[in-house]
């Protein structure tokens, strides 16, 4: 049995994701797909629209064979750390390849970029610092530095979000000396940041969420863009919990935290740098919604995503000490599997590169403790009737088996 890995968030799982899973198998020749999926909070600093268990089941019903959770300490991070954690999990799970979607679709450009920047690391970092000093955000500074160093060449466009992640996957594979072969497929129809539907059956997760959270939006509005299995699970989730998760539901909790913290206390939270704590505290007194709060703290230097991640860390009380020094994952947290996935794990269970965690005990690692804390905070948006069961779900939920 041979496995191809994918790194995902499925927020929600849609037809473009189903295409990716099919293409990953076809391109790699693998017969098993292993998905590494973010848990309760996501890389862009947002709560996942539905629980990790529901999203894992969406994946399993639409083509994935095994779903592992990407630990919080990697999931709510900038692209290089996010990629490093995901690659370490796929390597430990004995994946032969990693297939990612990109705006480029040309894997040779990713290899070239990874080699080029490793050979010009000092010059590249110095150029990034120069662009940062001019007030650019880090992603913008990195893109400008890349253009400056590789001018007059047909190179990888590192201003595109999926190209950035793909570059970091390839870079992590090289740095970790992993045996994984990177593969890429060109994104189909919808762009990552598309706000509206531009196709009859393929839409970005961003546009799907926008339609879902619109004033009169319904699940029926997005049904053409998701598999039937996803549609049914969304209906069930809404009926069970009465919500889909979004930042405004967590705003009272975030505002409470900010109104009760002093500046020196807030400065210990991960991603609170360069006096941001003072800006956050002042804005918390004025804002009447999360969106209003974000407009008050937004600056040219810091991206919306970067600031949202800081908000997640405040919400979960994740300190710089909690988050520092993690270069690789140290466990495989199993969320679910198909029968084929179970056969794969049974075959390789003694040869996995990390401990396989299928049930949580009272004595967990520091990384798992962060995951559990994040899940409990995430549960606070649910109604009182569901909150108790939701908060303890990490301890009571067995891996999903289809």
Largest CA distance in the chain: 61
Q: Residue 351: what pLDDT?
A: 95
Phi and psi, residue 7, nearest 5°: -115, 125
Nearest residue to 207 via CA among 224, 194, 220: 194
What is the token pair recorded at 263?
């500046």
Between 148 and 261, the more confident residue is 261
The superfamily in CATH containing domain 3-103+185-191+328-401 is HUPs (3.40.50.620)
- The least confident of 59-63, 133-137, 339-343 is 133-137
Phi and psi, residue 5, nearest 5°: -100, 150
Name residue, tokens 């939701």.
390
- Number of alpha carbons in the 13 Å side-chain half-sphere of residue 3: 28
Cβ atoms < 10 Å from Cβ of 12: 27
Q: Which residues are annotated as a binding site for ATP?
A: 7-20, 101, 162, 187
How far apart are the C-alpha atoms of 36 and 90, rounded to whole Å?
7
pTM for this predicted structure: 0.93
What mean pLDDT is predicted for residues 144-157? Answer: 78
Name residue, tokens 């559990």.
372
Which residue intervals of 179-303 are DSSP H helices?
A: 205-212, 219-222, 228-241, 247-259, 263-266, 276-286, 290-297
pLDDT per residue as tens digits for the range 87-111: 999 999 999 999 999 999 999 999 9
Do the Cβ atoms of 335 and 399 come closer than 8 Å? yes
Q: Residue 192: what pLDDT?
A: 47
How far apart are the C-alpha atoms of 77 and 306, rounded to whole Å?
9
pLDDT at 194 over 70: no
What is the token pair recorded at 63?
């083509």
Q: Which residues are annotated as a binding site?
A: 7-20, 101, 162, 187
pLDDT at 191 over 70: no
Do the Cβ atoms of 84 and 47 come closer than 8 Å? no
Q: At 132, is the secondary structure helix, strand, or coil?
A: helix
User: Beta-strand (E) ranges in 10-139?
Assistant: 32-38, 66-70, 97-102
Q: Residue 341: what pLDDT?
A: 98
What is the token pair recorded at 15?
């037809």
Do the Cβ atoms of 319 and 276 come closer than 8 Å? no
Give the contacts of 256 (CB within 8 A, at least 6 positions apart). Answer: none
Most confident of 3-7, 204-208, 369-373: 3-7
pLDDT per residue as tens digits for the range 207-254: 899 988 887 778 898 999 999 999 999 999 999 888 999 999 999 999
Do the Cβ atoms of 370 and 71 come closer than 8 Å? yes
How far apart are the C-alpha atoms of 240 and 89, rounded to whole Å?
32
Round the average pLDDT of the chain to a whole number and report it.
91
pLDDT at 288 over 50: yes
| Beta strand pairing call for 3-8 and 32-38 | parallel
Do the Cβ atoms of 198 and 190 come closer than 8 Å? yes
Between 93 and 192, the more confident residue is 93
- Number of alpha carbons in the 13 Å side-chain half-sphere of residue 88: 23
Do the Cβ atoms of 171 and 87 come closer than 8 Å? no
Q: Residue 158: what pLDDT?
A: 84
How far apart are the C-alpha atoms of 327 and 87, rounded to whole Å?
10
Domain boundaries, the chain: 3-103+185-191+328-401, 107-159, 247-323
């Amino acid at each position: 049995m041979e496995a191809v890995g994918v790194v995902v968030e499925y927020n929600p799982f849609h037809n473009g994701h189903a295409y990716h899973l099919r293409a990953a198998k076809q391109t790699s020749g693998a017969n098993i797909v292993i998905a590494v999926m973010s848990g309760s909070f996501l890389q862009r600093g947002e709560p996942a629209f539905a629980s990790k268990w529901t999203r894992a089941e969406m994946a399993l019903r639409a083509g994935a064979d095994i779903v592992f959770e990407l630990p919080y300490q990697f999931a709510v991070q900038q692209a290089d750390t996010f990629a490093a954690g995901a690659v370490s999990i796929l390597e430990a799970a004995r994946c032969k390849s990693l297939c990612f979607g990109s705006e480029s679709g040309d894997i040779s450009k990713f290899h070239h970029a990874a080699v080029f920047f490793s050979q010009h690391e000092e010059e590249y970092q110095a150029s990034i610092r120069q662009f940062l000093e001019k007030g650019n955000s880090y992603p913008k500074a990195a893109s400008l530095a890349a253009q400056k160093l590789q001018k007059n060449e047909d190179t990888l466009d590192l201003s595109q979000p999926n190209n950035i992640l793909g570059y970091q996957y390839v870079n992590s594979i090289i740095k970790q000396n992993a045996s994984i072969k990177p593969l890429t497929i060109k994104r189909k129809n919808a762009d990552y940041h598309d706000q509206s539907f531009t196709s009859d059956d393929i839409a970005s997760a961003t546009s799907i969420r926008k339609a879902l959270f619109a004033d009169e939006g319904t699940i029926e509005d997005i049904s053409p863009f998701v598999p039937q299995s996803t549609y049914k699970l969304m209906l069930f989730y809404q009926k069970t919990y009465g919500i889909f998760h979004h930042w405004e539901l967590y705003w009272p909790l975030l505002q409470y935290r900010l109104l009760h913290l002093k500046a020196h206390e807030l400065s210990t939270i991960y991603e609170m740098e360069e006096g941001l704590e003072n800006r956050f505290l002042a804005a918390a007194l004025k804002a009447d919604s999360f969106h209003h709060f974000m407009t008050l703290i937004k600056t040219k230097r810091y991206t919306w995503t970067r600031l949202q991640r800081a908000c997640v860390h405040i919400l979960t009380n994740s300190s710089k000490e909690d988050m520092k020094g993690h270069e690789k994952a140290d466990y495989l947290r199993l969320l679910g599997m198909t029968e084929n996935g179970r056969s794969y794990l049974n075959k390789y269970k003694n040869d996995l590169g990390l401990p396989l965690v299928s049930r949580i005990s009272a004595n967990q690692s520091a990384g798992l403790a962060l995951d559990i804390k994040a899940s409990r905070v995430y549960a606070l948006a649910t109604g009182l009737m569901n909150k108790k069961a939701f908060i303890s779900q990490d301890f009571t939920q067995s891996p999903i088996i289809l």
